[in-house]
Structure 1
Amino acid sequence: MRDKWSQHTTAAAGGVIAAGAALSIGYLVAAVTGGPWPVDAVGVQVIDWAPGPVKDFAVRELGTADRPLLRLGICVVLALVAAAAGVVGRRRPPVAIGIAFLLGLTGLVFAGFGRSAATGVERLLPAIATLVAAVVAMALVVRARTPQAEQPDGFDRRRFLLTVSALAVVGTGAFATTRIATFGTGEAARAKVRVPRPADAARPVPAGAQVDVPGVSRFVTPNSKFYRVDTLLEVPRIDPADWELRIHGMVGKELRLSLADLLDRRLIERDITLTCVSNEVGGPYVGNARWIGVPVADVLAEAGVRNGADAVKSTSIDGLTIGTPLSALTDGRDAIFAVAMNGEPLPFDHGFPVRMVVPGLYGYVSATKWIVDFEVTRFQDFSAYWTDRGWAVEAPIKTASRIDVPKGFATVKAGPAIAAGVAWAQHRGIAKVEVRVDDGPWQPAVLAAEDTIDTWRQWRFRWTATPGTHKLTVRATDADGNVQTAAPAPPRPNGSSGLHNTVVMVE
């Protein structure tokens, strides 16, 4: 029994090593061609097919860890299937090779029909390389593992070890070469982009915009800390020299703009807070940055919008579509094709070389990253990626507030205490923030200085902490007089609502 278990184990290990070598070769080809690695092609399709509640759970509970965990999960499944194929291959080599072929074919199909930043044959090459490598590697393993009556172990152990060792070396070498060769890919090209001084610069952030309370979010969110929510496992690293934005549809004149064309236009600089519709009450998916870009209205005016248009369908380089009300791009708000974020060209994670930023709308209807296509159209003539998945067509940001300090279940000392946080109602502004201790009356908090109506606003509240457990609750009122609703609602379909609270223990 022990000898049989040992044979199964070595056969399974051979199958896993064969699959690992094939995936590593595909990873290398993906780096060279720009096509999707089969694991990522499958992962994007899993994201697209996942039911809404599953997506919501992943964003809420896993945050940015959802992508590496999805990759890991796919690799684990592949490893298990490959291990089973290795075991089956001891007696039925053709079956094992057939399993390897089917796994490779699955990656090829997803690469061909799924969303990808690559076009043409390039999008298929990594999957083709993986398929061929998987079949060859599995064939070598099962051949080396074929039972032989004259051998003490039933097979040529030396030949098997040499085969799997060679495959392991090939796989490790391909993976390591890819990681080394792609380290910092695109950074040199991004570093060469020089964003001119904007013709219309933002005013300095008011000195009193940041409350002096440790633990409160920084008024300007650093690029490295800015939230990221999207559907890609691998961030596009676009060569700015190859990038182009097509403006077409219901316009008098179609435009095709390179990055150089945009940088030669009138640039404006604005402080704008962005919020993801997936943000739960009190959640982290909100951030404030200083953006530089070309006003969308200027480009639309040049193209000439035809009568009857009421929407714009913008498309990312990977094929994801977003629908934006035309009125939000032409009503005077600072909607821009952003080229810089906090004083530097856009980071790759946040849409380099160009993305959209529209104050007052949730990102899924406005903040297209890696944008390449901009079609003026009508809502009745298309449906966008997220609206196909149950989200609202139009989504103005709801008035919201959050307690940053004290954290939930923190322990504070009895006596004078401070609560502080942020509130936002982009393109309306925050007029008032109130805090309630337990079930007491609503009391006004002190507002920090307002930068603009398109940015969040910080607040602080002094209260007398008495021994015991207490609940602090916050609510905001926007400049239009709308009081933040206490009625709870999940993010789907048009943003969460309810009041954020935190429980503290007072010594």
Structure 2
Amino acid sequence: MTVLDRRELLSMPFALWLAEAATEGEQVIPFADTKPFNPERPTLPWEQTTAWITPTEHLFRVGHYGYPDVNPAQWRLEITGLVNRPLTLSLDELKRRKVREQTVTIECSGNAPAGGLIGNARWKGTPLAPLLKEAGVQPEAVEAVFFAADASTEKIRGGEYQQNFARSLAVREAMKDGVLVCWELNGAPLDKNHGAPCRLVVPGWYGVAWVKWLTRIELHDRAYLSRFMGRDYVTIRGEKQGEKTIWRETSVGRMNLKSVVGRVTRRADGSLRVMGAAWSDGTPIRTVELKIDNGPWTPVEIAKENRNPFCWVFWTYEWKGAASGEHTLTSRATDARGRVQPAPDDPFITLKKTYWEANQQAVRKIKV
């Protein structure tokens, strides 16, 4: 039996709202940095985005050690380590558990300020927490480590070691209600590019935590530090304290507050419609504002039909009297905690020395 998240039902009218916003006859005004869509390396084509649910063919894909072929009939999920009752489950056994379908936004931690490594999709699977409780997580376990089928040889301190891709979550994070072992994307079984037969879904976290081709979950009593926890996917950021700069290395984790101007169209009466999206780690979006050229920040209209904290929200702004020529459009989001999306010259951005977690305001250029 499939259980639809209550927030799914609340979001359904939004598709009608967006369809009305994208009426026929409106002319798309391209951004200066628009690149042609490449189906071999898909990224979200913002200027074509008129649906709240991202088509699977527009969802980005990442394979750290390639894209393994995993036979669903032979696939098993192991839950082992510091547990009282180790489990080994087939795909059919998982599907006989409680099934949940939920819509969640996924963003790659390497996404650029206005990049297309993001999408909003429907994910179906079974909640992870009941599986961990059935296995009996021992009190000393502090992390759940998720191992994938993709593997390669890593050179570590002079030696060579076969390593599977793996990421970890604190047990308290793994136990959260929305975390799924997922086998279906947008109403169809996962394909190889998106982690078939099963992957993890971790709402509010960057995509690297959504381990694809999932095969094993281990419970550990100490931090797991593989290449993709302790060396790659580590953000180096400085903080000024007087005349000193304090440098910190932190593992990529929860998504940062972010928004982007996604699409500009010209209507029949000559006015322009600016559309965009905003998202976060699950903290509700309070406001989105738009700045045109060097003008003031102006509030935009956020769709009221969808307020799922783990999904992006779409917004619109009616721009009348736009002068001919080149213009810049910049959006910024503020969340319910009062956090404001940083400007490109904010020290939070300028003192970040790695490309992961880039959530600065994106300046989009168009010619009207």
What is the TM-score when the length of structure 2 is the normalising length?
0.76
**1:500 partner amino acid:** A
Aligned to 1:307: 139
Q: CA deviation at 1:347?
A: 1.6
In structure 1, the residue matched to 2:231 is 388
Aligned positions of 1:42-121 closer than 5 A: none
2: CA distance, partners of 1:433 / 1:390 = 29
Indicate whether 1:438 and 2:242 are aligned.
no
Q: Distance in 2 between matches of 1:447 and 1:380?
A: 40
2:310 & 2:223 partners in 1: Cα distance? 29
Q: Deviations over 1:383-427 (max 9, x none)?
A: 3534322524351100111111139xxx99995221111111142
Q: Which amino acid aligns with 1:221?
A: T
Deviations 1:227-254 (A, max 9, x none): 1122244x32221111011111122221
Contact 1:322 1:384 in 2 (8 A): no
Unaligned runs of 5+ in 2: 23-27, 29-46, 151-163, 235-249
Structure with greater proportional helix content: 1
- Structure 2 vs 1, CA of residues 339 and 390 (structure 1 numbering), >3 Å: closer, same or farther? closer
The match for 2:80 among 241, 248, 268 is 248
Q: Does 2:367 match 1:505?
A: yes
Match of 1:347 in 2: 191
Query: Equivalent of 2:3, from 184, 199, 210?
Result: 199
Is the Cα–Cα contact under 8 Å of residues 14 and 52 in structure 2 kept in the other structure? no
CA RMSD, Structure 1 to Structure 2 (Å) = 2.4
Matched, 1:477 2:313: no
1:199 is matched by which residue type in structure 2?
Answer: V
1:427 aligns with 2:278: no
Question: SS of 1:385's equivalent?
Answer: helix
Where do residues 326-345 of structure 1 align in structure 2 (5 Å cutoff)?
326-332=171-177, 334-345=178-189
- Greater mean alpha carbon deviation, residues 274-283 or residues 477-486: 477-486
Give, in angstroms, the shift of residue 483 of structure 1. 1.4
Report the AA paired with residue 406 of structure 1.
V
**Larger mean Cα displacement after TM superposition, 211-220 or 241-250:** 211-220
Residue 229 of structure 1, aligned match among 45, 62, 67: 62
Q: Does structure 2 conserve the Cα–Cα contact (< 8 Å) formed by 1:414 and 1:466?
A: no
Determine what percentage of the aligned residue pairs are the same residue. Answer: 29
2-side partners of 1:200 and 1:301: how far apart?
22
CA-CA distance at 1:343 after TM superposition: 0.9
Q: 1:253-279: per-residue Cα shift (whole Å, max 9, x none)?
A: 211111111011011110011111010
Computing the radius of gyration over CA atoms, which structure comes out larger, 1 or 2? 1
How many aligned positions are there?
A: 304
Residue in structure 2 matched with residue 357 of structure 1 by the alignment: 201
Name which of structure 1's ranges 261-270 and 391-400 shifts more when overlaid on structure 2: 391-400
CA distance in 1, matches of 2:224, 2:331: 42
1:406 alignment partner, SS class: strand
Which amino acid is 1:226 matched to? L
CA distance in 2, matches of 1:446, 1:310: 43
Higher relative contact order (CA 8 A, sep 6+): 2
Residue of structure 2 in register with 1:132 after alignment = none
Alpha carbons of 1:439 and 1:413: their partners in 2 closer, same or farther (altered >3 Å)?
Answer: farther
> 1:496 is matched with which residue?
358
1:439 is aligned with what amino acid?
Answer: N
Q: Say which structure is richer in strand.
A: 2
> Is contact 1:335-1:358 (8 Å) kept?
yes
User: Do 1:437 and 1:471's aligned partners in 2 also have CA atoms closer than 8 Å?
Assistant: yes
Name stretches of at least 5 consecutive residues in structure 1 with no aligned partner: 1-196
Does structure 1 retain, via aligned residues, the 8 Å contact 2:274–2:316?
Answer: yes
SS for the counterpart of 2:14 is helix
Which stretch of structure 1 is more off in the superposition, 300-309 or 348-357? 300-309
State which of 462, 466, 475 in structure 1 corresponds to 2:323.
Answer: 466
* Conservation of the 8 A alpha-carbon contact between 1:291 and 1:338: yes
Does the 8 Å CA contact 2:120/2:312 hold for their aligned counterparts?
yes
Q: Among 242, 250, 262, which residue is 1:404 paired with?
A: 262
Deviation at 1:378, TM superposition (A): 4.0
Task: Write the deviation string for residues 453-500 of structure 1: whole angstroms up to 9, x where unpaired.
Answer: 111111111123123322111011123332111133669365112101
